[in-house]
Structures are given as C-alpha cells and as structure tokens.
Structure 1
Amino acid sequence: MAWISVTRLRVRSFIYLPQFFWDTFKSMRQAERSSGFLGGRLLVNAKNVFWTMTAWIDEAAMNAYRTGGAHRRAMPKLLTWCNEAAIVHWTQESSEIPFWQEVHKRMAEEGRLSKVNHPSPTQASNHIPAPESSRIERTLRPASKV
C-alpha cells in the first residue's frame, strides 16, 4: 500500500529558476531522508514545468515531510514564483511508482488547482496539460530503509 502525492508547477519567469532549483534540490534531499518515503520522480518539461511524484507509506508520513524543513520553507514562495500549480493524492495497493500517463489521468480527473498570485491562461481555464517525455528526469530513492 502506498500514498502517492503529485505536484505540477510552472515557474512563471526565468528570474525565479535559480532559487526554485535550489529549493527543489533541498526538498528532494529532505524527501529522500524522510521516514516513510518509498520513492519518487522529478520530471522537468519545457516552459519551466516541473512534475514531482512521491510515494509514502501513508498520508501521515507525507504530511510530516510537507509541513517541515526545506519543503515547508519553499511552499509560500510558490505563490509568487509559479503561474500554474496543481496537486493530486491517492492510495494504491502497490508501492511501485506509477507511469506519467496514469499520473496525468489522476491529475485531470481528481486533481485540484493550487492558488497562485499570477495565474496563467492555462491555470485560469482549469486545464492541466499532460507531462511530456523529457531527458531531464530524476528518480528519488530513500536514503535508508523505511
């Protein structure tokens, strides 16, 4: 059994990318070291779009990660940095990381948009574009056994 958490973010300007990359790096390291983390992926698409998918032993483990450390410090900045943001969560029997096609299907059917200060026309229309295949994809692995 796994709790899956997916986020799609679009950084609205290149000016925010250096700090976004740094905060993403710190948040990924935090996840990999967090209790209850099973694995995940980061996918970078064109036009500054970032997908993160993480698997946890349960919702409580994900919430402990989300509300602490680097991730907690980064979240308020996203209101300004991003013009598109969406999230979706679900539980599944397998602890295997789902394929991006399944992730988009879930995001389109069950996801919700997150507040951003400067929504793009795509965000304003409630549309969530599908992930694109990318040469920039990183697999996240737990630093130690759960």
Structure 2
Amino acid sequence: MAFVSITRLRIRSLRFMPVFALDTLRTLRQTRHAAGFIGGSLLDDRKLTFWTMTLWHDQASMKRYMTSGAHLKAMPKLLGWCDEASVVHWTQADGIAPDWREADRRMRGEGRPSKVRHPSADHQSLAYAVPRVSGAVPIRPLGVQP
C-alpha cells in the first residue's frame, strides 16, 4: 500500500519566485530525508504553476513530514503567494507513481482547493488549464540511485 499526495500551486506573481524557489529546495531536502517517503516528482507546468507528487508508506508518514521542518515553515507563505492551490490524496495498492494525467484526473474529480488570500476566478472550481505532463523531475529518497 502507498499513500499518494498531489499538490498544485500557481504563484500569482514573479516577485514571489525567488523565495518560493528557495523554500522549494529546502522542502525537497526535507522530503528526501523523510521517514516513510517512497518517491515522487515535481512538474513545472505553465504560467507559474507547479505540481508535486509524493508517495508515502502511509498517511501518518506524510502528515509527520507536512507538519514539521521546512515544509511547515513554507506552508503559511503560500496563502499570499498563490492564487490557486489544491490537493488530492488517495491510497493505492502499490508504490508505483501514477502518471500526471491520472494525477490531473484525480485532482479535478476528488481534489479540494486550499486556502489562498487572493483566489483566481477558477480557484474554487479547480477549472484550471490541462497541465503540461512532460518534463517532470523525479524526487528520490536519500540514498536511492536512479
């Protein structure tokens, strides 16, 4: 069994990108060291939109990661940086990452918008453009080689 977590964030202005990029590097380091992390990937979509896909041994592992360290410090900043943010989770039988089309399908069908201070017109309905599904970068646990 694996717990899958997908997030989609759209940054509302280029002025937030330098600090967002720095926080992303910090959270990636935390992710790679996190207990229970199986693997995942990052997808740089269009128009300052970024997706993450992470797989965990269980939901408890993901929550321990989410509520600690660099990730915990970055989350409140997204309220002001993003005009769209959403998340979807599910459990699947294996630890093989789904493709990005499946992640998009699940986000639209089962996902929920996250709280943002400056929502776009499409934020609540998750009526975003179809994501670019190529060019994702893998995230591997520390010590796991390609």
TM-score bracket, shorter-length normalisation: over 0.9
How far apart in 2 are the matches of 1:105 and 1:44?
Answer: 17
Deviation of 1:126 after TM superposition, in Å, equals: 3.7
Match of 2:132 in 1: 132
Deviation of 1:12 after TM superposition, in Å, equals: 0.2
Match of 1:60 in 2: 60
SS at match of 2:115: coil
1:35 to 1:70, Cα distance in 2 relative to 1, 3 A: same
Gaps of 5+ in 1: none
1:123 pairs with 2:131 = no
Query: How much identity, in percent, do the aligned residues show?
Result: 49
How far apart in 2 are the matches of 1:134 and 1:48?
Answer: 15
Q: Is the 8 A contact 2:85 2:116 kept in 1?
A: yes
User: So what's the TM-score if we normalise by structure 2?
Assistant: 0.94
SS at match of 1:121: coil
How far apart in 2 are the matches of 1:124 and 1:4?
Answer: 22
1:40 pairs with 2:40 = yes
Which of structure 1's runs of 4+ aligned residues deviate more than 6 A?
A: none
User: So what's the TM-score if we normalise by structure 1?
Assistant: 0.94
Match of 2:114 in 1: 114
Match of 2:28 in 1: 28
Gaps of 5+ in 2: none
Q: Is the 8 A contact 2:108 2:126 kept in 1?
A: no
How far apart in 2 are the matches of 1:109 and 1:124?
Answer: 13
Match of 2:85 in 1: 85
Deviation of 1:125 after TM superposition, in Å, equals: 4.1
How far apart in 2 are the matches of 1:142 and 1:124?
Answer: 33
How far apart in 1 are the matches of 2:31 and 2:24?
Answer: 10
Q: Is the 8 A contact 2:40 2:53 kept in 1?
A: yes
Deviation of 1:130 after TM superposition, in Å, equals: 2.8
How far apart in 2 are the matches of 1:66 and 1:130?
Answer: 27
How far apart in 2 are the matches of 1:106 and 1:124?
Answer: 16
Deviation of 1:134 after TM superposition, in Å, equals: 4.1
How far apart in 2 are the matches of 1:126 and 1:101?
Answer: 15
